[in-house]
Amino acid sequence: MNTPVMGMVLKGYPRISETFISNEIRLLEEQGLTVHIFSMRQPRESFTHKSVEAIRARVTYLPSEFWISLHRFVWPNLRTLLSHPAGYAKSFRLACKRFLHNRNFMTFKHFFQAGYLVHHASGLNLAHLHAHFAHSPTSVAMFASEICGVPFSFTAHAKDIYTSDATQLAEKIDKARFVVTCTKFNKAFLENLVQGRREVHCVYHGIDLELFFAHAVTRTPEPPYTFLTIARIVEKKGIPDILEALALLAREDFPFRYVLIGSGDEKDAVKARVRELGLEGHVEMPGTMAHEQVLERFQAADCFVLGCRIAKSGDRDGIPNVLAESMALGVPVIGTRVSGIPELVEHEETGLLVDATRPEEMAAALKRIVTDQALRAKIIPAARRKVTEVFDNQKLIVELVALYRNLTNL
């Protein structure tokens, strides 16, 4: 008998910013599950993390543009219609209903991507579909499930929760076999969305503790102190708030350098703000880096800082994995009281929490965390203990696999 296959629906694969997903797939395979990836678009980066090389799963890339790729949609969807006429009609009705609610033509693209997926999954013993992110990947998984009858589930993360239409997200939760999310804050929000009708399972992403413990940072801070941020340069990461705090330190002639690793929509605006604040001599922006290069940069870091905030769109972080990685490495962290971050970073216990919109508070925390040796001696080992207790991906993947096996036919 053919081995049951889990179809994993992803927005893109591989993605340099989604190490947690590639790590999850690798660990699922190590636990004996067979995974087939359905990616909604081709990779956009020219490089990827080494961890992706260990993944055995085959990848089917769905057509990503509707009108340009219309000829690629037609035959697979016709075959799917002929093989699953009732399910195809049911799924199309659902797509029409959702379009009438959201007036977004992407709904029909996701429907046709689902038809394409079902056609290309016909040679697999597809037992379950799981999507990462509650927006478009889950839409594709839900439409495909309606077509072929294979149950689906999804993991909700951050932006996909808080920028989604509440009514349509609730519908996905109700239709899914089960739902996973990565913070207790998210769990409470999602369960409230469906008025407690469904339980949402909280499983933290987790990190490879063995890897980070092997690269432990043991430096004693000396001026000029090095502050490090690794993030997509977008509104919710609060980079401009960090710059405002750094400008205060510069005015005091406090000796520091700031390294910002990453890229994003607001990169040019951040560079302009660096110039406006006169921080050119303090700030380095090397762009996006592979994980191995990032580990090298951590060795020179005295503190890791994120200014996470709620964006105007409602977008926000869950618990950025890089906070847990920093804590495991022994680099003390400064975060904010946004979303699930306080579940990991406990003020003056495993790190410092600030209101990033108050630059004087952020500046004081930055100064304190590199000069207060008693504080560092307390929070660095406590942070390591915390991530060992709650963010060990080897333990968490066993929990996730048990969830899949108990609630699916895998």
157-186 confidence digits (pLDDT tens) = 999 999 999 999 999 999 999 999 999 999
Q: What is the distance between the alpha carbons of residues 79 and 72, in angstroms, rounded to a whole number?
A: 12
371: burial class by Cβ within 10 Å (0-12, 13-18, 19+)?
middle
pTM: 0.91
351: burial class by Cβ within 10 Å (0-12, 13-18, 19+)?
buried
- The identity of residue 9, as a single letter, is V
Structure confidence by residue, pLDDT tens digits, 71-102: 999 999 999 999 999 999 999 999 999 999 99
Q: What is the distance between the alpha carbons of residues 177 and 151, in angstroms, rounded to a whole number?
A: 6
Structure confidence by residue, pLDDT tens digits, 311-339: 999 999 999 999 999 999 999 999 999 99
pLDDT of 136: 97
89-93, 140-144, 365-369, 390-394: range with lowest mean pLDDT: 390-394
Mean pLDDT confidence for 182-200 = 96
Does the pLDDT of residue 47 top 60, yes or no?
no
pLDDT of 48: 63
pLDDT of 292: 87
Q: What is the distance between the alpha carbons of residues 343 and 390, in angstroms, rounded to a whole number?
A: 10
pLDDT of 356: 85
Query: In the numeric block, which tokens belong to residue 317?
Result: 């972080």
Residue keyed to tokens 């921080």 = 279
Q: What is the distance between the alpha carbons of residues 197 and 182, in angstroms, rounded to a whole number?
A: 19
pLDDT of 17: 66
Strands (DSSP E) contained in 86-197 are 126-132, 152-156, 179-181
**Residue 245: partners with Cβ closer than 8 Å, 6 or more residues away:** 356, 359, 360, 362, 363, 366
Q: What is the distance between the alpha carbons of residues 197 and 273, in angstroms, rounded to a whole number?
A: 47
Structure confidence by residue, pLDDT tens digits, 277-321: 999 999 999 999 988 899 999 999 999 999 999 999 999 999 999
Mean pLDDT confidence for 50-73 = 90
Does the pLDDT of residue 16 top 80, yes or no?
no
pLDDT of 46: 61
Residue 131: count of CB within 10 angstroms of its CB: 30
Band (109; pLDDT cuts 50, 70, 90): very high
Q: For residues 162, 43, 319 and 315, what is the CA-based torsion angle, rounded to 10 degrees? A: -20
pLDDT of 69: 85
Structure confidence by residue, pLDDT tens digits, 219-276: 999 999 999 999 999 999 999 999 999 999 999 999 999 999 999 999 999 999 999 9
- The identity of residue 230, as a single letter, is I
Q: What is the distance between the alpha carbons of residues 175 and 342, in angstroms, rounded to a whole number?
A: 31
What domains, with CATH codes, occur in the chain?
5-206+392-407 (3.40.50.2000), 209-390 (3.40.50.2000)
Query: In the numeric block, which tokens belong to residue 237?
Result: 């990461």
Q: What is the distance between the alpha carbons of residues 362 and 360, in angstroms, rounded to a whole number?
A: 5
In this structure, are strands 303-305 and 333-336 parallel, antiparallel, or unpaired? parallel
pLDDT of 347: 98
Q: What is the distance between the alpha carbons of residues 126 and 129, in angstroms, rounded to a whole number?
A: 8
Q: What is the distance between the alpha carbons of residues 142 and 149, in angstroms, rounded to a whole number?
A: 10
Mean pLDDT confidence for 131-142 = 98
pLDDT above 70 covers a percentage of the chain that reads 98
Does the pLDDT of residue 372 top 70, yes or no?
yes
Q: In what order do the strands lie in the sheet with 333-336?
A: 283-287, 256-261, 225-230, 303-305, 333-336, 352-354
Q: Which residues pair with 192 in a beta bridge?
A: none
DSSP calls for 305-316? E------TTS--
Band (44; pLDDT cuts 50, 70, 90): confident
Mean residue pLDDT across the chain: 95
